Amino acid sequence: MHKERFRKILDSALEGCAPGREDCLYLLSFTPESLQSAIICAVADTISRKRFKNRAVLLGQIGVEAAPCPGKCKFCSFGQGHTKIESSSLEQNELRNHTYELTAGGDLFALFLMGMHDINIDRLLETIDTVRSVMPAKTRLVVNIGDFTLAQARILREAGVDGAYHVLRLREGIDTALNPEQRKATIKNITDAGLDWYYCCEPIGPEHTDVELVDQIFLGVELGCFQHAAMRRVYLPNSPLAHYGQITERRLAQVVAVVTLASLASPNTKSIAVHEPNMLGLIAGANSVYAEAGSNPRDNERETSKNRGRNTTDCKRMFFETGFSNLLLGDGSTVSLTCV
């Protein structure tokens, strides 16, 4: 009976039929080291490469500022009450240099600008002007900031922003000081303003149940995110959740695979990402990773490019090694992937 159910779910997915919540719970119930999990990842990889034409999506993110954040997220290196990071912002030259380093090759689909939860819209608009003056016109611009209004979303779009990353995180309001309903309201503001909405099942720790993962996955599916993804929580020794440890990349790949299969129900979803970049995720349905510079919520160092953050060359090498043929660019064109 179990073998029949397992095969039916995956055969249906191969025919384009997305598994529902109960089936996704079933797929997540296998141990990451099991044969079943390996098969799930292989099927998701096959489906994703066909759906996205074996094209990889290279993204970059610049952490523009760092400060003790009132969001108090227990999984974040900036969380007020446990962070050891002092307030700082990138100087204009640093911002320009990071923008140039990430975008000069012309291979980036989109550049993300990350700030703290509390935003200063005027300062953000100045930052947008600075990076737009350096980056290629074909590269899209995305913000990764705190909650904001519909009016602010429209201002950002008029300023040249193409999308926003925003997530109702796992145990929002429990492991954070933020309001889950406000997080969902911002997601609506993003889509109502016509911005691309980037989403993720995150930050996954060993303590999270399969039910929690499925609930979070399906929020992105049902609301039609532009990009879906999965990200594991990184072990930060000084964080309140450090005692839980972290999941393996193999478990993360299994979640990526289920995200990929569930996202068949969302025609708006144009790519699947895995955070942080790793090759197991890229052979389990993901076709997108992020290069990073500046501050990073998964890093205790001020400049992540010197520590956890991958550069664009690292990311392109991962794409090549996992068999992707082309990079999709922000204007819809493609370039061939070669050994770099």
pLDDT of residue 1: 56
| pLDDT, tens digit, 9 for 90 and up, residues 169-181 | 999 999 999 999 9
Closest by Cα among 312, 280, 281 to 201: 281
- 54-241+265-274+288-336: CATH number: 3.20.20.70
**Dist. CA 142–CA 111, nearest whole Å:** 6
Residue keyed to tokens 């999984």: 75
**Average pLDDT in the chain:** 94
Q: Which residues contact 209 (CB under 8 A, 6 or more apart)?
A: none
| pLDDT, tens digit, 9 for 90 and up, residues 319-338 | 999 999 999 999 999 999 98
pLDDT of residue 78: 86
Q: How far is CA 129 from CA 15, 104, 140, 148, in A?
A: 45, 17, 13, 19
* pTM passes above 0.75: yes
pLDDT of residue 309: 79
Confidence of residue 298 (pLDDT cuts 50, 70, 90): confident
Q: Which residues contact 158 (CB under 8 A, 6 or more apart)?
A: none
Rg of the chain over all Cα atoms, to the nearest angstrom: 19
User: Does 35 score more than 60 pLDDT?
Assistant: yes
| pLDDT, tens digit, 9 for 90 and up, residues 67-125 | 888 889 999 888 888 988 878 889 999 999 999 999 999 999 999 999 988 889 999 99
pLDDT of residue 303: 72
Q: Compute the average pLDDT of residues 158-167.
A: 98
Q: What are the boundaries of each domain within the chain?
A: 54-241+265-274+288-336
